[in-house]
């Protein structure tokens, strides 16, 4: 018996979904590697990667295998019990990073929520309630819960929901002097995205992160790196802090960690972790066996010299060709980013029109992303194949040609 609402179409979205998104006109129904097909059977190349999530493309055999194997064993037990995939994943993350301990949750916002609560808790326990201030950066993005929009440096996401979380200030990104002027002994944490993702793919300067580390140490503040977008191979290292050589006290991860299955993680040291004693924080699904089984498979594939070196090589391919396209059509002034998180900064004539580029690319059968109105963002699979890179960039060039001729 078929459901009364089959078939569903894009128009249904406008009828039955809360209107907080504006999805594209087509509905993807199937993916394999870096290709996606829509309801009409049209094939697209995916350089969007579900917003830097599909780190191994679509339907990667290792992930499908891990998920289906776990699906036949055990889905969920809650944190009243622990489970094998969660413990294995924690071991892998601890072995591969500065961290001694992992807390699992279901999204980037939740990983940051845990990070901010931990930072406040540590300061409260060690120094008392006065030390609770968090310094974040202008234009930063940390998620959509009330705490994380309050910490995020974009008032458009935090205004209009009543009183915000207080004790949070925002300083310009990559501006060490501004951070120095703001930080004090009341600061419990400084939170930085090693590369600002949502607001335009802006990489931090090494000296900025080094300086932030020194200032935090001087003021007994914790350094939190939000690696929700930059983590799990995206930069060509497992985490971006390893690319920069600056170690945080707390790191948040999500997006690529699950390769498309929802999971988030907060990583930290023994000394800090001990402040989240039994009952102080939690989430029903955190460390769910299905999510952790997939994340284990993601790490097994991504955290290998071949895949990480491949990211660096592919970066160069994208950058070279995108610079050529940008120059030829007068579309961008700069191609920036690290690894396979790449932002093309639109030229004066195209400022504010990233959505037009998105639409033009879609017409040519290519999925890209915006990062604000002035930057076109690419966050493809880390194992995107040679033929797909070439064909995708050919499609992008056709889109650029048509857009600039029109
Ligand atoms: C996407 C993102 C988040 C939020 O992650 P969700 O899974 O959407 O909650 C937080 N921080 C950064 C840097 C992100 O890119």
pLDDT digits (tens, 9 = 90+) for 345-399: 999 999 999 999 999 999 999 999 999 999 999 999 999 999 999 999 999 999 9
Question: Residue 225 to residues 112, 137, 194, 247, 303: CA-CA distances in angstroms?
Answer: 9, 12, 7, 9, 19
Task: Outline where 97-195 has alpha helix (H).
Answer: 108-127, 146-151, 155-158, 176-182
End-to-end CA separation in angstroms for the chain = 48
What pLDDT was estimated at residue 3?
63
Q: Is the predicted pLDDT of residue 326 greater than 80, yes or no?
A: yes
For residue 13, give every residue at least 6 positions away whose Cβ sits within 8 Å of its Cβ, in sequence order, or none. Answer: 23
The pLDDT of residue 219 is 98
Rounded Cα–Cα distance for residues 262 and 285 (Å):
10
- Please report the pLDDT score of residue 2 as a whole number: 54
**What are the residue ranges of CATH 3.90.1150.10 in the chain?**
10-60+305-405
Other C-beta atoms lying within 10 Å of the C-beta of residue 169: 14
- Angstrom CA distances, 192 to 210, 232, 337, stand at 12, 17, 16
307 C-alpha to ligand 1 centroid (Å): 23
263 close to 106: Cβ distance less than 8 angstroms: yes
What average pLDDT does range 171-179 have in this prediction? 98
Looking at residue 163, its pLDDT comes to 95
Ligand 1: nearest atom to the Cα of 227:
13
CA distance 2 to 379: 37
Annotated binding site for pyridoxal 5'-phosphate: 108-109, 141, 226-229, 284
pLDDT for 261 equals: 98
Start and end residues for every CATH 3.40.640.10 domain found in the chain: 74-302
Q: Which of 46, 226, 374, 388 is catalytic?
A: 226
Q: Quick one: fold of 10-60+305-405?
A: 3.90.1150
Q: Which residues line ligand 1 (CB under 6 A)?
A: 107-109, 112, 141-143, 193, 197-198, 226, 228-229, 254-255
pLDDT tens digits, 354-367: 999 999 999 999 99
275 pLDDT more than 90: yes
Atom 10 in ligand 1: residue holding the nearest Cα: 142
pLDDT, one tens digit per residue, over 182-196 is 999 999 999 999 999
CA-to-CA distance for 313 and 311, rounded, in angstroms?
A: 5
- Selecting from 3.40.718.10, 3.40.309.10, 3.40.640.10, 3.40.50.280, what CATH number does the domain 74-302 have? 3.40.640.10
User: How much is the mean pLDDT over the chain?
Assistant: 97
Quote the pLDDT of residue 118.
98
């Amino acid at each position: 018996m078929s459901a009364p609402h089959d078939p569903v179409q894009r128009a249904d979205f406008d009828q039955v979904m809360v209107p907080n998104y504006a999805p594209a006109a087509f509905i993807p129904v199937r993916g394999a590697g870096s290709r996606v097909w829509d309801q009409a059977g049209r094939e697209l190349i995916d350089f969007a990667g579900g917003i830097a999530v599909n780190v191994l493309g679509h339907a990667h055999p290792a992930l499908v295998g891990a998920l289906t194997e776990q699906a036949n064993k055990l889905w969920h037990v809650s944190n009243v019990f622990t489970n094998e995939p969660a413990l294995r994943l924690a071991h892998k993350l601890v072995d591969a990073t500065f961290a001694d301990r992992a807390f699992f949750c279901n999204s980037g916002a939740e990983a940051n929520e845990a990070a901010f609560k931990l930072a406040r808790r540590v300061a409260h326990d060690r120094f008392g309630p006065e030390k609770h201030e968090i310094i974040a950066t202008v234009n930063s993005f940390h998620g959509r819960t009330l705490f994380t929009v309050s910490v995020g440096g974009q008032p458009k996401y935090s205004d209009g929901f009543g009183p915000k979380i207080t004790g949070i200030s925002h300083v310009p990104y990559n501006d060490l002097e501004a951070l120095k002027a703001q930080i004090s002994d009341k600061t419990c944490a400084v939170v930085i995205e090693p590369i600002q993702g949502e607001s335009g793919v802006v990489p931090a300067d090494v000296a900025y992160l080094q300086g932030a580390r020194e200032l935090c140490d001087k003021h007994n503040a914790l350094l939190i790196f939000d690696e929700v977008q930059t983590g799990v191979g995206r930069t060509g290292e497992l985490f971006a802090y390893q690319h920069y050589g600056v170690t945080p006290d707390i790191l948040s991860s999500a997006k690529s960690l699950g390769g498309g299955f929802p999971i988030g993680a907060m990583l930290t040291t023994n000394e800090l972790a001990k402040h989240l004693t039994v009952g102080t924080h939690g989430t029903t699904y955190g460390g769910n066996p299905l999510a952790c089984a997939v994340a284990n498979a993601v790490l097994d594939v991504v955290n290998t010299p071949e895949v990480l070196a491949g990211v660096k090589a592919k970066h160069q391919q994208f950058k070279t060709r995108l610079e050529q396209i940008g120059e030829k059509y007068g579309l961008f002034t700069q191609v920036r980013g690290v690894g396979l998180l790449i932002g093309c900064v639109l030229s004066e004539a195209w400022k504010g029109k990233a959505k037009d580029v998105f639409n033009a690319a879609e017409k040519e059968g290519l999925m890209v992303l915006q990062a604000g109105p002035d930057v076109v963002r690419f966050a493809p699979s880390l194992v995107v194949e040679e033929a797909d890179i070439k064909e995708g960039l050919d499609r992008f060039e056709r889109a650029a040609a048509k857009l600039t001729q029109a």
